[in-house]
């Protein structure tokens, strides 16, 4: 059976899907990937997974959307896929339209989150309408968390009978061989030496896009109001700096206690360096960084929003705070800073929870079962 995974950019394929694509390929599926051009992606996918580059813009431009749909239609007609799975808003919207026009029998929307939640006014209306159309054109919907599923139903995005959560959720689970807590102490020492962080410094960390919607303003506001010495490690692309408070960002850029780092391929080592992960997002589909950090024994402080609340046990593996509330975040950060052993005490519970809930090997079996079941509808 021929299946195709579609996302806007290759980063999403690398971050969430390659291991499960390999698993599906090993279990009898003819697998293709479509996303924007990346000269190294085919090498990463290997010989058994086909890669077709098609540019899909991340913005909302009618001209580029129409062009992407036309290019997808050409490929769909040629390849004659049995099932198309699309993720990320623009790729999903374009693929859903192209798939229904070419009569692809199974149009599976892997819903990783609701982008419109971070928007306001007319932008929110347009993005919500796009989401609703995509879901209407899809034959099936898979949400990455139960809270996102329930929220979308309440918002009228889709009907309950159309959607499921596969296993316990997430896009690909956590690779417990890669995220090996047994190497935490070793990696902690190595990275702190490399980053020039004292072994006794308390480190709050963030992994993701440096942008307003990820709660970066609140992180900086809270950090500057803490009592006691600590470090802040920010890892990710600075693509959204223009959305941040200019004064806060200018101050942070000069602060020796704030460490900026580009994206890394060995993020597991950086989780081991952190005492607490911060993710006070305004919107979040799942919050994969929470699960990965927990697998390395690092608890988190996260927003009390759909997505992250499914990736934690509140008060045991993480603490929740209100989104857009720097004071709530500060108080919880201060609690950890005043009790430096607290994060260490949570380590074992973090690891056990991820092993029992988001082991990728177990999820891959559930994904295969799901794909086999969908094929019966053809």
Whole-number pLDDT of residue 51: 98
Q: Is 21 left (phi over 0), alpha (psi -120 to 50) or beta?
A: alpha
What's residue 343's pLDDT? 96
CATH number of 181-357: 3.40.50.2000
CB hemisphere CA count around 123 (13 angstroms): 9
| Homologous superfamily assigned to 2-173+360-375 | Glycogen Phosphorylase B; (3.40.50.2000)
pLDDT for the residue numbered 118:
78
At 57 the pLDDT is: 87
Residues of the chain with pLDDT below 70 are none
The whole-number pLDDT of residue 119 equals 83
pLDDT for the residue 336: 98
The pLDDT of residue 60 is 75
How is residue 100 written in tokens? 């229904």
Q: Which residue has the tokens 């992994």?
A: 207
Mean residue pLDDT of the chain comes to 96
* Domain 2-173+360-375 and domain 181-357 have a common topology: yes
Domain boundaries in the chain? Answer: 2-173+360-375, 181-357
First-last CA distance in the chain = 11
Q: What are the Cα distances from residue 110, in Å, to 95, 101, 107?
A: 12, 19, 10
Q: Say how many CA atoms lie within 13 Å of 267 toward its Cβ.
A: 25
């Amino acid at each position: 059976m021929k299946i195709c995974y579609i996302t806007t950019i290759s980063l999403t394929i690398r971050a969430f899907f390659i291991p499960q694509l390999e698993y599906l390929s090993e279990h009898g599926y003819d697998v293709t990937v479509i996303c924007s051009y990346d000269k190294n992606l085919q090498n990463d996918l290997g010989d058994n997974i086909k890669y077709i580059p098609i540019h899909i813009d991340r913005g909302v431009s009618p001209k580029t959307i129409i062009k992407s749909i036309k290019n997808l239609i050409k490929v769909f007609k040629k390849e004659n896929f049995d099932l198309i799975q699309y993720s990320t808003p623009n790729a999903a919207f374009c693929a859903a339209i192209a798939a229904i026009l070419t009569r692809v029998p199974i149009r599976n929307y892997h819903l990783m989150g609701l982008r419109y939640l971070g928007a306001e006014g007319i932008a929110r209306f347009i993005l919500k309408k796009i989401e609703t159309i995509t879901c209407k054109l899809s034959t099936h919907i898979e949400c990455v968390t139960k809270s996102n599923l329930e929220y979308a139903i309440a918002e009228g995005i889709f009907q309950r009978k159309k959607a499921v959560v596969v296993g316990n959720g997430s896009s690909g689970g956590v690779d417990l061989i890669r995220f090996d807590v047994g190497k935490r102490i070793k990696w902690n020492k190595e990275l702190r030496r490399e980053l020039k962080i004292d072994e006794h410094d308390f480190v709050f960390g963030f992994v993701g896009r440096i942008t307003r919607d990820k709660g970066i303003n609140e992180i900086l506001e809270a950090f500057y109001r803490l009592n006691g010495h600590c470090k802040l490690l920010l890892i990710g692309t600075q693509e959204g700096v223009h959305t941040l408070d200019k004064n806060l960002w200018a101050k942070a850029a000069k602060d020796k206690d704030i460490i900026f780092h580009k994206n890394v391929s060995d993020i597991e080592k950086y989780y081991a360096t952190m005492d607490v992960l911060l993710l006070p997002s305004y919107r979040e589909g799942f919050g994969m960084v929470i699960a990965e950090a927990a697998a390395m024994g690092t608890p988190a402080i996260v927003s009390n929003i759909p997505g992250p609340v499914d990736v934690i046990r509140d008060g045991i593996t993480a603490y929740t705070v209100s989104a857009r509330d720097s004071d709530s975040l500060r108080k919880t950060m201060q609690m950890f800073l005043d009790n430096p052993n607290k994060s260490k005490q949570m380590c074992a519970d973090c690891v056990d929870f991820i092993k029992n809930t988001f082991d990728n090997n177990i999820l891959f079996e559930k994904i295969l079962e799901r794909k086999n079941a969908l094929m019966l509808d053809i």
